[in-house]
Amino acid sequence: MKARKSTNDSNENLKEIEEKCSQLQQSVQSLEEKLSNLEDENHVLRQKALSASPKGSRTSIVRTFSEKYSGVLALADSERKPVFESPTPSKLIAPFSHGLSESRRSKLTAERHHISSVENYEFLARCIKEDFGFIDGKPLAACIIYRCLLHWHAFDSERTAIFDCIIEGINEVLKDGDENSTLPYWLSNASALLCLLQRNLRLNGFLTTNSQRSISSGLHGRVIHGVKSPFRFIGFEDGLSHMEARYPAILFKQQLTACVEKIFGLIRDNLKKELSPLLNSCIQVSVSQIQHMDSYKYRLFWLPPF
């Protein structure tokens, strides 16, 4: 009997050791993946350190939707402009007359670009502040924001403030909105948008993540793994055109990762606050029931026989 018990104990110890080894291997794999990503990002950031991303003027005006925004989701990749500073205006503008002077032309061009940029900022602000909901369980706001950035070629821009506007808008919504509805909504949207960036941006000619590599642990890995093939949300999955990430895009991906972790932490803390009193009540009830049963058994033991 002693030998059998010793064998069982040894088997249990071996199982525990195997489980710990498996967990350690998963942790090491996750750390290696994160280290590889950080090395690539830091290399690009060091090269772009001198060219800081300026923060341009931002508008907080939110206007109602109109028909000029209805074609944003159906934009073709062939229509993309080379830089974000001159996005495609949503209205047809007649060509300049040859009789205009150079100063007048430049002034009209600047006014046209300014109006178009303001409209783009207002559209993104509306996407962030409005609850667009889900289509077949897929976050719609993340898909719209990604397609807008893709069409405006913001990921290839050396200088743009559009990413700062998005992050600040999300933070404002998280600060002022209802936590019970806002936090889960933006956890799904931010994680979906982060997954799109993670799989579609390049760093120095290499993808930010290897599509064949399985991420098995860590908050970032769980979030990315939970959003399966987000390219289906926006109508394409095969034949992706991976883009070379510039400094603003890399910084935006890092800020978005921090935002996802922040939202996850807030949801976890809120659940702890809600569940802790209930768990304490359950524990107290269980202890009182055990004490009552013990006293009842004690009285039964000392009762005289009939």
At 213 the pLDDT is 42
Q: What domain range is 119 assigned to?
A: 29-274
Mean pLDDT over 44-56 rounds to: 57
291 domain-assigned = no
Residue 243 three-state SS: strand
294 domain-assigned = no
Mean pLDDT over 63-81 rounds to: 43
Cα(148)–Cα(126) distance, integer angstroms: 13
Name the residue type at position 143: C
At 202 the pLDDT is 79
- For 262-285, write each residue's pLDDT tens digit: 999 999 999 999 888 888 888 776
**Per the structure, how many domains does the chain have?**
1
3 domain-assigned = no
Where do the H-state alpha helices sit in 130-214? 140-151, 162-176, 179-200
The structure's pTM equals 0.55
98 domain-assigned = yes
137 domain-assigned = yes
- The answer, yes or no, to whether residue 247 has pLDDT greater than 60, is yes
Cα(262)–Cα(283) distance, integer angstroms: 31
Mean pLDDT over 57-64 rounds to: 39
279 domain-assigned = no
Strands 243-244 and 201-203, by their bridges, are parallel
Contacts of 211 (CB under 8 A, 6+ apart): 199
Predicted confidence band of residue 290 (pLDDT cuts 50, 70, 90): low
